[in-house]
């Protein structure tokens, strides 16, 4: 007799995948649509191709899908175990009332920003990590959707360097839906295709011009402005480069085209790692 248990499990997993991805995707989708409408009304680069925008939006859905699937594996159990139990005595107490909730949100954003600064900086300093991060920098059309162009291998990487430390310090419930929204609003805003020069306020908040410098093709702008929310970290750790009034240079990686092929984009880090290993063996 045909065993239907496998099909039932498959049906359950398919439902969990759709619901899990949708719960994370729809708020980001709405944020990106809103920011895109602003960009299209006041563009820095007019007539950016919709194909690039659509690819990055679809790619984000793929990355979220892989993230949900990873959560069902031994890796997901490992992350959940560390996030849920490790170093519990060091955690901040649970918030009591609205003032505490707001204070917790600010603290979450600060800790997240500090961790993501160093995770991001390492991606530029370590060739094996750059192989993953290059996919994000290849984009030559900076816009709100470009903030979602991140290789799915970044998911386990950022879980180790950002998610787990955040939950160690502030508890499993620290990364709330509000924090998720705020982070994606900042990410989309900093990648916007708008001529927004914050002037003296560039030292207080990361803006589109500030982050565009980080994506610049010009070598003089390499390895600067790694911060996601606050330039404070760049200023503290020597990577701050103040924007020049009116300067909005071209973005992307010199000599490398923007990848929009799904299989090529997925496999590229692995190909780069293989080349690194081969070159190391040849030198040896």
Residues 198-243 have pLDDT tens digits of 988 899 999 999 999 999 988 777 789 999 999 999 999 999 999 9
Q: Sign of the C-alpha dihedral, residues 109, 177, 119, 141?
A: negative
Mean pLDDT of 1-11: 66
Name the pLDDT band for 169 (thresholds 50, 70, 90): confident
| pLDDT surpasses 70 at 112 | yes
Q: Once rounded to an integer, what is the mean pLDDT over residues 81-88?
A: 62
Average pLDDT over residues 85-95: 51
Q: Give the contacts of 269 (CB within 8 A, at least 6 positions apart).
A: 131, 132, 135, 151, 153
Q: Check pLDDT > 90 for residue 31.
A: yes
The confidence score (pLDDT) of residue 88 equals: 47
- Rounded Cα distance between 108 and 173, Å, is 11
pLDDT of residue 34: 97
Q: Give one DSSP letter per residue of 99-157, joined into a string.
A: HHHHHHHHHHHHHHHHHHHHHHHHHHHSHHHHHHHHHHHT--S-SGGGGG---TTHHHH
- Compare 283 and 99 and report the one with higher pLDDT: 99
pLDDT for 89 beyond 50? no
Kindly tell me the burial class for residue 133, based on how many C-beta atoms sit within 10 Å of its own C-beta (0-12, 13-18, 19 or more): buried
Distance in angstroms (rounded) separating the CA atoms of residues 37 and 144: 10
Q: Work out the average pLDDT over 37-52.
A: 94
* The predicted structure's pLDDT at residue 176: 85
What interhelical angle do 74-85 and 50-71 show, nearest 10? 80
Q: Choose among 112, 111, 114, 86: nearest CA to 233.
A: 114
Give the pLDDT score at 15: 83
Between 160 and 11, the higher pLDDT residue: 160
What is the tens place of the pLDDT at every residue in 118-147?
A: 999 999 999 999 999 999 999 999 999 999
């Amino acid at each position: 007799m045909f065993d239907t248990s496998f099909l039932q499990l498959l049906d359950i997993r398919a439902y969990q995948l759709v619901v899990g991805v949708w719960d994370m995707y729809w708020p980001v989708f709405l944020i990106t649509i809103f920011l895109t409408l602003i960009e299209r009304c006041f563009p820095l680069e007019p007539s950016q191709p919709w194909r690039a925008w659509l690819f990055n939006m679809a790619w984000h859905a793929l990355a979220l899908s892989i993230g949900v699937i990873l959560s069902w594996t031994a890796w997901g159990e490992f992350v959940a175990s560390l996030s849920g139990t490790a170093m519990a005595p060091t955690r901040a107490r649970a918030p009591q009332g609205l003032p505490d909730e707001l204070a917790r949100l600010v603290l979450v954003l600060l800790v997240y920003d500090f961790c993501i600064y160093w995770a991001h900086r390492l991606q530029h300093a370590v060739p094996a990590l750059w192989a993953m991060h290059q996919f994000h920098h290849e984009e030559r059309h900076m816009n709100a959707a470009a903030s979602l162009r991140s290789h799915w291998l970044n998911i386990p990487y950022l879980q180790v360097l950002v998610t787990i430390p955040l939950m160690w310090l502030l508890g499993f419930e620290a990364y709330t839906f509000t924090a998720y929204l705020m982070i994606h609003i900042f990410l989309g805003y900093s990648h916007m295709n708008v001529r927004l020069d914050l002037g003296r306020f560039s030292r207080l908040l990361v803006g589109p011009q500030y982050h565009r410098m980080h994506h610049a093709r010009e070598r003089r702008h390499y390895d600067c402005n790694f911060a996601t929310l606050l330039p404070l970290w760049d200023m503290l750790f020597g990577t701050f480069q103040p924007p020049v009034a009116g300067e909005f240079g071209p973005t992307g990686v010199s000599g490398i085209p923007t990848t929009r092929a799904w299989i090529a984009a997925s496999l590229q880090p692995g190909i780069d790692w293989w080349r690194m290993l081969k070159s190391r063996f040849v030198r040896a």
